[in-house]
A = this chain, B = another copy of it.
Amino acid sequence: MMEKQDNNVESQTDVLIIGAGPSGLMAAYWMARCGIRARIVDKRRTKVFTGQADGLRMRTMELFDSMGFQHRVQQEGHVAVEANFWVPDGKGGLVRQGPHCSSKVNESPFRHMLLNQGRIERFLLDSIKQHSDLKIERGTIAECFEYNKDMEDDPSGYPITVKLRSRSENEANPPGLDRTGTSSDPVANELNQGNLNPDDWDDFTQKSQSEQSQTEFIKAKYLIGCDGAHSWTRKKLNIPLQGESTDHVWGVIDVVPISDFPDIRRLGTVAHESGTILVIPRERNLVRLYVPVQTIEDATTVNGRFNRSQVTLGVIKRRVQTIFAPYTFDFRICDWWTAYQVGQRIAPTFTKGNRVFLAGDAVHTHSPKVGLGMNMSMQDGFNIGWKVALVAGGVATPSILGTYDAERHRLAEMLLEFDRHWSGFFTEGEKDSKTQNMIKVVELFEDFADGRRSFYGASELVWKVDGSEGPSTARHLIPGERFPPVKLRMQADGNLRWTTRLFESDGRFRIVILAGDVREKRQMERVVTLTQYLSGSDPKTRSVLQRYAPIMGRFDCAVDIMAIHSGSWTEVEFFDFPKILRPFDPVTGWAYDKIWCDDACVWNRNCDGKGYEKWGVDRMRGAVLVLRPDQYIGWVGELEEVNDMISYLDGVLVRTVACDRP
């Protein structure tokens, strides 16, 4: 037992999140959204303002849209979808190969974007504040951990005890200069306050209130450890990181470059016999460069590890100058820089007893050069966040928690595989075929990397049909994959919305009826039959909307029902549809946002009425599917396969008491 002094606070929470970086904040978003009793702590005194991660893949942008703030990224970020590969021209110069652009770039409303992690944290924090009173407790360190395995299977038990200590003012920790010793932390951080966004100012000047260190013993039902590469949580669970480090040392700099290199503001690589630089243009004239510095053999090692103090900003600059030659390179403004040693490591498991979970860098570390780290971490936090929130809220059955490790571990392995292929290019010597090989690797992994495919396997949350593709009724709606985004028109008001925003991340599962061409009487009859079943018109059943537990304080039911028809917007009326698709409330009247239309719109090019084609669904007959709260497809079938669909939902959602009785 931990030693508990009389003056220590004891408390309880349903969910404790350790670490308020991108993955921790994504998990915290779900607690805020679903009204879960939760705490989130971070050892640092402030959020990140500069440096760190900066790449945002298509799928991350889609998730941001479902969370309500992708427009802020669009406004501030830099789009980078075309890459140029610069290689020696054999005459002492460099020559451009490219630009290369993915053929799949238009398969999402969003593009690959670059914006520093500090801004992403800003948007996440603002979103959490908008939905709840959940505050990040900064300057707070987790120190002791106890886990009572006997309570593991009792959903009402608190098997986890953690001692938290808030750091006093006296424990020096200047903002942005955390020297806690992880190899991915900055060596030095030349934070330029003039570069600070005005809406970050309050956080930057914020000080911890406590003058003395305070401790608290907190008991939790669930713990999510998002505490980075040197995760305290992971160590307490005795889960190792497996893998190895290469002997290559890299420098990363965020600078406002002074360079006559023609593509200094374009995504690309610059190859040299001694290694390859990756160029990443960013917001506010910043450019990030990943620079191969040296191998361990050249460097002094301390206890077998590379002595990072040998890499200075000057060393990195001179390396860039060498590789960029004959082009010039210099800078006066450096926003952030660091040096790191590449390693690919992964934890064998991401959970203990499905009560403690690890996410992000805590369970997978790799080179940052694939521009995927923050995306993978955020998607980890997003994945475990909704599952823990719904289970802790009594909405979903605890068994779904096992899908976190199953779904995300496999992707972390793919991440490391991609990184092994990709990183090799930056240290190997120059070859004629290198650019083509690089493009081949990008194309091999891009569905995974961009998040167009997630490869989530079969589980209670993913009911696979025969084969790995979608069913014949909806060829491109594949259980375990994302719903291919389409811009739709709301039947009632004619406004347009991408499905990524329409399927808002609010905690609910969604039954999406692709109603087909409801102008045809026989098709409308099929829709009516389905909705009658869902409405519980059969006296032996109840409405689906009364069958499952509510998300307390947010929604009466954890399932939402929507329809997307394929008829002409002007030839169909809102009141043509069955009542369950236009639910009536005595205070707010009819809900107008359940019925949508896949029809072209004359005043918006992106609304082209080709959703059904994109989904591989017959425009007359339609189909029906269940989307998980994270917009991944859980179940797909024909309009008549409603019993099967209810079985899917029964397997993951807690039923109301009335329904639980036979």
A contact set with B: CB distance below 8 Å: 68, 71-72, 74-75, 78-79, 81-82, 99, 101, 105-106, 111, 129-130, 198-199, 256-260, 262, 265-266, 281, 285, 331-333, 490, 492-496, 570, 573-575, 586-590, 592, 602-603, 605-606
Contacts and interface: CB of A to CB of B under 8 A. Distances in A.
Contacts of A257: 589
Nearest to A332: B587
Contact of A258 (B105, B332, B589): B589
Contacts of A586: 258, 332
Contacts of A605: 605-606
Contact of A78 (B260, B281, B495, B574): B495
A82 B266 contact: no
Given A68-B75, A257-B589, 11 more contacts: A71-B75, A79-B496, A82-B603, A256-B589, A258-B588, A258-B589, A265-B493, A266-B493, A281-B493, A331-B589, A333-B587
Contact of A603 (B71, B106, B493): B106
A87 B75 CA distance: 43
Contacts of A573: 262
B494 A82 contact: yes
Nearest to A589: B258
A327 to B, nearest CB: 10
A575 B264 CA distance: 12
Nearest to A282: B493
A589 to B, nearest CB: 4
A332 B605 CA distance: 38
Contact of A570 (B99, B333, B490, B590): B99
A378 to B, nearest CB: 21
30 contacts: A68-B75, A71-B75, A78-B493, A78-B495, A79-B494, A79-B495, A79-B496, A81-B603, A99-B570, A101-B602, A101-B603, A105-B602, A105-B603, A106-B603, A111-B603, A130-B199, A256-B588, A258-B586, A260-B575, A262-B573, A262-B574, A266-B492, A266-B493, A266-B494, A285-B588, A331-B589, A332-B587, A333-B587, A333-B588, A605-B605
Nearest to A608: B605
B106 A262 contact: no
A363 to B, nearest CB: 33
Nearest to A81: B603
Which of A72, A260, A494, A495 has the most chain B CB within a 10 Å cutoff?
A494
A608 to B, nearest CB: 9
Contacts of A606: 605
A188 to B, nearest CB: 20
Contacts of A199: 130
Contacts of A570: 99
A352 B539 CA distance: 78
A-B interface, 8 closest residue pairs, ranked by CB to CB distance from nearest: A258-B589, A265-B493, A265-B492, A332-B587, A105-B603, A71-B71, A605-B605, A130-B198
Nearest to A106: B603
A75 B74 CA distance: 12
Given A333-B587, A586-B332, A198 B603 contact: no
A99 B266 CA distance: 45
Contacts of A333: 587-588
Given A493-B281, A570-B99, A265 B592 contact: yes
A262 B75 CA distance: 36
A123 to B, nearest CB: 12
Contact of A259 (B82, B105, B494, B589): B589
Nearest to A602: B101
Given A495-B78, A602-B105, A592 B71 contact: no
Nearest to A197: B130
Nearest to A570: B99
Contacts of A588: 256, 258, 285, 332-333
A313 to B, nearest CB: 16
A253 to B, nearest CB: 14
A130 to B, nearest CB: 5
